[in-house]
């Protein structure tokens, strides 16, 4: 009998079904990957196991005993720990203090025994092979280090089930290796590990078994060895997938945007390029190459030290996003929660926010016309939402991204700058966004697409600019747009190509 058995679990949020009769079995000493598009119910299912939510139907058996958790503390006491996607350490406490928060060792006088605290943490780190000084303040650690500390904390609770929600989404490859090492060690010690991930390569590397969820339904559990990528993708999206990049060639038109010698000290230097009508211009580069900073400067969110921007041949002065908007620009930001959306308000509020002038009638907003346009947009963009009044925070990542796109498309821009347009969203929504980009190019718009996903850049771009350490190190067209050439330019330290 499996160590952790989930039987017929269902969960509803505000009457909407998030999980439907899901049954999964997890063994000790196995890495069980949970996969599915965003909104498939993976996180919800695991939050039930970790005691953050309570299921509306179904039972959980732990080691053959039925359990029901009132809260996360209950789950921890049953040796189940979850490491969340968004980590929540207490920044000004030390590593050791974070790990033993709420169960600090005391001395005879009832005061904190700091020496013992540090000793306990050191012992723990040695046991599982982590090399971090427990006296360091939490805020000084990298995301990856925080993750390791969280895992150490789970181990300190003697966790037999360890749930990790996309642990590798924000850390570097080198750090990922360290994480894997630790996970494999825990697996060898007999811990049951549940791993939620989007990254297909990673999944095949770590998984013993894979369970696929889709729209809250259980699709299947299979040993990783019996699956391949294509099968997995078709299980996830419910159909076969041939090409997700719906790129269709369109004749390129006149120049619409010219950037000349744009410089911002410390971020990028002497960047010049031209964007044409109907064109999709990819901007590639490694983290920290200055891509986001470049497009934010073009959009007026940062000020440049020198350089010119020309739109349709005329020089323009863009000092703030309002100026950019007036010149027909739109920017879909990289961090949609921070810069793209007002998460406290409704979907409709967000969609019409940039284009309220259109509904302005003698100082008043014509709410009827506004509602009609917003509803049109929701339909057109295929945003999955009950009503325009629904809070935008309740939408999945992909749908939130569609809302940001809808918001800017309302302003009928000529030039769309998209910074990582498909980050953190599921394959279904990705496909829709690729289709949309292609359609926009066909309609005569121009698109700048900043992306770290090479397949996306290669699949969608007519032309690719490559940035390296703030310099333009490559401009690639046609056959040159391939993984090797892009990477060669992206790692080049000297601005030589252009």
- Strand residues in 265-311 grouped as ranges (E): 268-276, 280-285, 306-311
As a whole number of Å, the end-to-end CA separation of the chain is 64
Separation between Cα atoms, residue 352 and residue 370, nearest integer Å: 7
Q: Is 363 in the site for another protein (CB under 8 A)?
A: yes
Separation between Cα atoms, residue 335 and residue 337, nearest integer Å: 6
Q: Is 291 in the site for another protein (CB under 8 A)?
A: no
CB atoms within 10 A of CB 56: 14
Separation between Cα atoms, residue 135 and residue 476, nearest integer Å: 49
The answer to whether the CB of 53 falls within 8 A of the CB of 11 is yes
Nearer of residues 12 and 246 to another protein, judged by Cβ: 12
Report DSSP state, residue 336.
I
Q: Is 315 in the site for another protein (CB under 8 A)?
A: no
Q: Give the CA diameter of the chain.
A: 80
Query: Site for another protein (CB under 8 A): which residue of 339, 371, 487, 495?
Result: 339
User: Which residues have a Cβ under 8 Å from the Cβ of 449 and sit 6 or more positions away?
Assistant: 280, 281, 282, 283, 418, 421, 437, 456, 457, 460, 461
Report DSSP state, residue 63.
T
Q: Is 250 in the site for another protein (CB under 8 A)?
A: no
Q: Is 112 in the site for another protein (CB under 8 A)?
A: no
Restricted to residues 199-218, the positions that interact with another protein (CB under 8 A) are: 215-216
Restricted to residues 49-108, the positions that interact with another protein (CB under 8 A) are: 56
Q: Is 394 exposed, middle or buried (0-12, 13-18, 19+ CB in 10 A)?
A: middle
What is the closest distance, in whole angstroms, from the C-beta atom of residue 32 to another protein in the complex? 24
Query: Site for another protein (CB under 8 A): which residue of 177, 228, 305, 342?
Result: 342
Q: Is 244 in the site for another protein (CB under 8 A)?
A: no
- Strand residues in 341-488 grouped as ranges (E): 360-361, 364-365, 415-419, 446-450, 463-468, 471-477
Restricted to residues 374-403, the positions that interact with another protein (CB under 8 A) are: 384, 386
Report DSSP state, residue 476.
E
Nearer of residues 450 and 486 to another protein, judged by Cβ: 450
Nearer of residues 188 and 364 to another protein, judged by Cβ: 364
What is the closest distance, in whole angstroms, from the C-beta atom of residue 96 to another protein in the complex? 32
* Segment near another protein (CB under 8 A); pick from 159-167, 169-177, 335-343, 437-445: 335-343
Nearer of residues 352 and 446 to another protein, judged by Cβ: 352
What is the closest distance, in whole angstroms, from the C-beta atom of residue 384 to another protein in the complex? 6
User: Which residues have a Cβ under 8 Å from the Cβ of 310 and sit 6 or more positions away?
Assistant: 257, 258, 259, 260, 316
Restricted to residues 8-47, the positions that interact with another protein (CB under 8 A) are: 12, 15-17, 20, 39
Instruction: Report how many residues bind another protein under the rule CB under 8 A.
Output: 40
* Segment near another protein (CB under 8 A); pick from 78-86, 171-179, 286-294, 349-357: 349-357
Nearer of residues 5 and 20 to another protein, judged by Cβ: 20
Restricted to residues 400-439, the positions that interact with another protein (CB under 8 A) are: 407
Contact set with another protein (CB under 8 A): 12, 15-17, 20, 39, 56, 215-216, 299, 301, 320-322, 324-325, 331, 333, 338-345, 349, 352-354, 356-357, 360, 363-365, 367, 384, 386, 407
């Amino acid at each position: 009998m499996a160590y952790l058995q989930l039987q017929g679990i269902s969960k509803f949020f505000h009457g909407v079904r998030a999980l439907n009769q899901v049954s999964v079995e997890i063994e000790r000493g196995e890495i069980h990957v949970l996969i599915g598009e965003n909104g498939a119910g993976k996180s919800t299912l695991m939050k039930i196991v970790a005691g953050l939510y309570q299921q509306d139907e179904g039972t959980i058996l732990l080691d053959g005993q039925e359990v029901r958790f009132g809260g996360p503390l209950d789950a921890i006491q049953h040796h189940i720990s979850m490491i969340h996607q968004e980590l929540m350490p207490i920044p000004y406490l030390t590593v050791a203090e974070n790990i033993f928060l709420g169960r600090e060792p005391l001395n005879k006088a009832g005061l904190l025994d700091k020496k013992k605290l540090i000793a306990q943490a050191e012992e723990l780190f040695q046991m599982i092979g982590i090399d971090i000084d427990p006296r360091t303040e939490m805020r000084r650690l990298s995301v990856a280090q925080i993750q390791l500390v969280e895992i150490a904390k789970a181990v300190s609770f003697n966790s037999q089930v360890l749930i990790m929600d996309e642990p590798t989404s924000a850390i570097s490859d080198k750090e990922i290796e360290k994480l894997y090492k630790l996970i494999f060690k825990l697996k060898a010690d007999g811990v049951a590990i549940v791993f939620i991930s989007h990254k297909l390569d990673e999944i095949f590397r770590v998984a013993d078994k894979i369970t696929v969820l889709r729209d809250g339904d259980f699709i299947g559990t299979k040993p990783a060895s019996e699956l391949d990528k294509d099968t997995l993708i078709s299980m996830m999206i419910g159909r076969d997938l041939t090409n997700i990049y719906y790129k269709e060639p369109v004749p390129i038109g006149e120049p619409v945007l010219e950037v000349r010698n744009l410089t911002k000290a410390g971020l990028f230097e002497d960047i010049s390029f031209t964007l044409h009508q109907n064109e999709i211009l990819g901007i590639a580069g490694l983290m920290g190459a200055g891509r986001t900073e470049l497009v934010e400067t073009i959009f007026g969110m940062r000020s440049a030290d020198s350089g010119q921007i020309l739109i349709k041949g005329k020089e323009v002065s863009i000092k703030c996003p309002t100026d950019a908007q007036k010149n027909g620009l739109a920017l879909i930001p990289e961090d949609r929660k921070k810069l793209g959306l007002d998460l406290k308000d409704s979907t409709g509020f967000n969609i019409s926010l940039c284009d309220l002038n259109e509904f302005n009638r003698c100082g008043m907003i014509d709410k009827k016309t506004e509602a009609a346009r917003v509803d049109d947009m929701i339909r057109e963009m295929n945003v999955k939402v009950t009503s325009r009044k629904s809070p935008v925070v309740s939408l999945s990542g992909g749908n939130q991204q569609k809302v940001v796109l809808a918001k800017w498309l309302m302003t009928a821009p000529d030039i769309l700058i998209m910074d990582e347009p498909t980050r953190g969203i599921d394959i279904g929504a990705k496909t829709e966004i690729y289709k949309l980009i292609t359609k926009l190019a066909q309609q005569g718009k121009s698109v700048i697409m900043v992306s770290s996903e090479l397949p996306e850049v290669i699949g969608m771009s007519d032309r690719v600019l490559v940035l390296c350490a703030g310099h333009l190190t490559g401009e690639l067209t046609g056959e040159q747009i391939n993984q090797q050439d892009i990477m060669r330019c992206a790692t080049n330290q000297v601005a030589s190509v252009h």
